[in-house]
Structure 1
Amino acid sequence: MLLTGCNSLPDSGPTEAQVNHAQRDPKKNTVGYAIVQISPDLITLLESEAPPQFSNLDSGNVPVHQNRNDTIGPGDVLQVAIYEVGSALFSPPAMGGMPTTSSSSSSTTTNSTMPSTSTRSSLPLLSVDGAGNITVPFAGQVHVAGLTTSQAVEAITAQLKGKSQSPQVMVRIATDIANSVMVYGAVQHPSRISLTPNRERILDVIALAGGQDHPAQAHEDYTVRLTRNGRIAEMPLKTIEIDPQQNIVVQPGDRVQLTFQPRSFTVFGASGRVTQTQFTTPTLTMAEAVSRNGGPIDSRADPNAVYVFRFENADILRRLGMPVDQNATTAPIIYQLDMMNPASFFLAQKFMMRDRDLIYIANSSSNKFYKFFGLITTIISPGTSMGGIAR
């Protein structure tokens, strides 16, 4: 009767024995999780699985375009101005003097015309086509893709020689598409940012897009995703701010996405409180996470069984020797920490928490007995008190 009464009492979660039994039972373990003890070797393995860094994208990567940010490319729009001396090809010459007439003829003929100093002609905006060419009147198609504005001036001038008198050409990139990056997501002004020979960096283009859209929120909750030549790397905004090596120079064609997603972890079981808690710091250890929620309760918790439930990288699980589906990128796992072992407190300071981790502090196996005993005491106590009063 005592055992039956204990088992019928409600509880906040399983004990260590129940967790282990469920893991071995295929009917209960339908997701295929495993239980792994947190050890120094495990922490070393997890630390070796660092996410791709921006500096890794920058090093050993040959850019598609020459990284000077001043070359012309398809899609750019150019503003071209041509200065001419004397007889102008692109505009009628200014009349510098009055025509003279001959006395032997009734017709008026121009005897001399004083040349003007120069005339300026601004051509309509010219778009660079997919082949990298622009069309200039009297010069035809001129290939400008891959050229700087100075080199484009020389190419257009060479085409106009012999057709215009001493042409002087000026070229400016009015709309720069080739030397630009897309900045979007949780920024105040998502837009295409044109790069300059100053060589802007990640934080520069984010600032040019207005910065994060929630300035009051912690920078740790913003993630920067950089896409370059088919490769993707993600990193917290705060990490880029404190590590200059990660604030790399952006290249034409990069895509920078800023994402606002507060990181959090959840605590269940025999802890001081059951809650969802945000990180608020760039990194968070397991020791810090447990302490934020009051730690295990002495009267209820089993300190031998403190668990972290996580969807882990499939490569890590394969290196741990666990069977994982070949096409899977993540798989469930439970990490267990024995807090009765003093060495585990050192491990808890090295084990790093991740977004959406779940900490479960198992109930003690004797917890139900004390609950049942307390229930019996509560039931008997009023009768005992009434008996005493009667006597």
Structure 2
Amino acid sequence: MSGPEDHVIKSEITRAGPEYGLVKLTPTIVDILKEYGPGAIAGSFPDNRPPPSIKFGVGDVVAVSIFEAAAGGLFIPAEAGVRPGNFVALPNQNVDSAGFITVPYAGAIKAAGRTPSEIQQDIVKAIGNRAIEPQVVVSLITQNTSLISVLGEVNAPTRLTANAAGERILDVISRAGGPKGQGWETWVTLERAGKRATVPFGALVYQPANNIWVHPGDTIYVYREPQIFLAFGASGAQGQFPFDMWKISMAQAMAKAGGLLDAQAEPSGVYVYRREPRELAERLGVDCSKYVGPTVPIVYNADFRDPAAYFLATKFDMRDKDVLFAANAATVDTAKFLQFVRVVIATANDTVVTANNAQILKINLRQ
């Protein structure tokens, strides 16, 4: 299949399309790329501390129990035997639309956005002068806020209550029944406070740094989209090829595409086309001043005349929808030109032969 010539790509001169940065594969470049996954969750949400304590919200159902050290206080009658125990359990109540609960003799207590211990301290402070050494226990009966949504290609899409002990992404997906499809074609998106990041499901399993703590209010979306790459040029086969695994290297992609054609390919002219974040492009040494937008077109070049390039190709991870292109050798264009010349000469010879044959036929007819 025809395509741009090797020397044209290396000149970084484009005729109609966007300008691009050419980056030659080296050990340093490969190491830099290892730090940048496809929207890696670990990089987008670097604060990997456990989630904060669960706080009450509007609509949560709360229980309040008040203990006193002796009878004769606010809640325990002075007459012995009237009521067993040294506490009173108030009726369960919802946190109202203003974010308050009501406690006798304490009045309205702010509950929304606060932890049980904070509410307990406020109640003790409010009744401390009237009750006998009061102690208060506030507990969450029904959790209607602090929820985690798990949507998409899982066996049981649902909204889950946040676990006070904390859970990671894989734990929450497991609670939702696990993914429906094969792991290598499954993607996971985490959205938190308007920010999102997406990784292949395998990145959560094989790169534990991506399996971060889930916070109340997070949304996890699981979907299926087979990862593919496109192969063109002087390879054994051209077209669209599936990864069939959660990630593949450049070397594996070349093998899937049938390798390089001995009589056609330029070993130093194997390229991978993709767009990279501007920050990464700058680290790769690309002058980004001439590019507009958050991403920069990058063309990676591997020179397989160097035996070490094969080792680099095993460490260079392909990304979904990458384009793998093998340029023709310079001699291929020469061969095409010579073939064209041969066709022209052969056509001219055929015309002469035809004319001679016609002349001979006329002579024979006259005789």
Match of 1:365 among 305, 314, 333: 333
CA distance, structure 2, for counterparts of residue 171 and residue 199 of structure 1: 20
Listed one character per residue, the Cα deviations across residues 13-46 of structure 1 (whole Å, up to 9, x for unaligned) are: 343245457x435xx1431124333333432343
Q: Residue 276 of structure 1 aligns with which residue? A: 240
Which has the higher mean CA deviation after the structures are superposed, 257-266 or 34-43?
A: 34-43
> Does the CA contact (< 8 Å) of 2:169 and 2:211 recur in 1?
yes
Task: Give the drift of 1:133.
Answer: 1.2
Listed one character per residue, the Cα deviations across residues 233-291 of structure 1 (whole Å, up to 9, x for unaligned) are: 43322122234444333222333232332211000112211121121223321111011
Q: Residue 209 of structure 1 aligns with which residue? A: 176
CA distance, structure 2, for counterparts of residue 202 and residue 154 of structure 1: 34
Structure 2 unaligned spans of 5+: 68-73, 75-80, 354-367
> Does the CA contact (< 8 Å) of 1:80 and 1:169 recur in 2?
no
> Does the CA contact (< 8 Å) of 2:23 and 2:299 recur in 1?
yes
Task: Give the drift of 1:221.
Answer: 2.6
Q: Structure 1 residue 248 and structure 2 residue 212: aligned?
A: yes
Q: Structure 1 residue 306 and structure 2 residue 270: aligned?
A: yes
> Does the CA contact (< 8 Å) of 2:95 and 2:112 recur in 1?
no
Task: Give the drift of 1:200.
Answer: 1.8
Q: Residue 298 of structure 2 aligns with which residue? A: 333
Task: Give the drift of 1:357.
Answer: 0.8
State the TM-score, normalized to the length of structure 1: 0.67
Task: Give the drift of 1:194.
Answer: 0.8
Listed one character per residue, the Cα deviations across residues 297-348 of structure 1 (whole Å, up to 9, x for unaligned) are: 2233333322212122222333414244565211222222232332322222
Cα root mean square deviation, aligned: 4.5
Q: Residue 297 of structure 1 aligns with which residue? A: 261
Indicate the SS of the match to 1:265: strand
Listed one character per residue, the Cα deviations across residues 113-172 of structure 1 (whole Å, up to 9, x for unaligned) are: x96879x99847423444x311357763123346555775786688789999xx999865
> Does the CA contact (< 8 Å) of 1:126 and 1:135 recur in 2?
no
Distance 1:355 1:133, change over 3 A: same
Distance 1:157 1:14, change over 3 A: closer
> Does the CA contact (< 8 Å) of 1:220 and 1:281 recur in 2?
yes
Match of 2:282 among 318, 339, 357: 318
CA distance, structure 2, for counterparts of residue 347 and residue 79 of structure 1: 59
CA distance, structure 1, for counterparts of residue 325 and residue 44 of structure 2: 37
> Does the CA contact (< 8 Å) of 1:77 and 1:127 recur in 2?
yes
Match of 1:239 among 184, 193, 203: 203
> Does the CA contact (< 8 Å) of 1:318 and 1:324 recur in 2?
no
Listed one character per residue, the Cα deviations across residues 88-117 of structure 1 (whole Å, up to 9, x for unaligned) are: x9xxxxxxxxxxxxxxxxxxxxxxxx9687
Distance 1:60 1:210, change over 3 A: closer
Indicate the SS of the match to 2:333: coil
Task: Give the drift of 1:358.
Answer: 0.5
Distance 1:34 1:321, change over 3 A: closer
Residues 6-25 of structure 1 aligned to structure 2 (within 5 Å): 12-19=2-9, 23-24=12-13
Distance 1:378 1:356, change over 3 A: farther
Task: Give the drift of 1:359.
Answer: 0.9
Q: Residue 361 of structure 2 aligns with which residue? A: none
Q: Structure 1 residue 33 and structure 2 residue 20: aligned?
A: yes
Q: Residue 78 of structure 1 aligns with which residue? A: 61
Structure 1 unaligned spans of 5+: 1-10, 90-113, 384-391
Q: Structure 1 residue 127 and structure 2 residue 88: aligned?
A: no
> Does the CA contact (< 8 Å) of 2:95 and 2:101 recur in 1?
yes
CA distance, structure 2, for counterparts of residue 263 and residue 234 of structure 1: 13
State the TM-score, normalized to the length of structure 2: 0.71
Q: Residue 189 of structure 2 aligns with which residue? A: 225
Aligned length: 337
> Does the CA contact (< 8 Å) of 1:73 and 1:178 recur in 2?
yes
CA distance, structure 2, for counterparts of residue 148 and residue 20 of structure 1: 61
Residues 172-211 of structure 1 aligned to structure 2 (within 5 Å): 172-211=139-178
Indicate the SS of the match to 2:30: helix
> Does the CA contact (< 8 Å) of 2:288 and 2:296 recur in 1?
no
Letter of the 1:192 partner, please give it.
R
CA distance, structure 2, for counterparts of residue 277 and residue 174 of structure 1: 53
Distance 1:378 1:121, change over 3 A: farther
Letter of the 2:296 partner, please give it.
A
Letter of the 1:241 partner, please give it.
V
CA distance, structure 1, for counterparts of residue 177 and residue 114 of structure 2: 31
CA distance, structure 1, for counterparts of residue 312 and residue 32 of structure 2: 13
Distance 1:143 1:326, change over 3 A: same
Residues 33-72 of structure 1 aligned to structure 2 (within 5 Å): 33-49=20-36, 54-55=41-42, 60=47, 67-69=52-54, 72=55
CA distance, structure 2, for counterparts of residue 58 and residue 13 of structure 1: 41
Task: Give the drift of 1:206.
Answer: 1.2
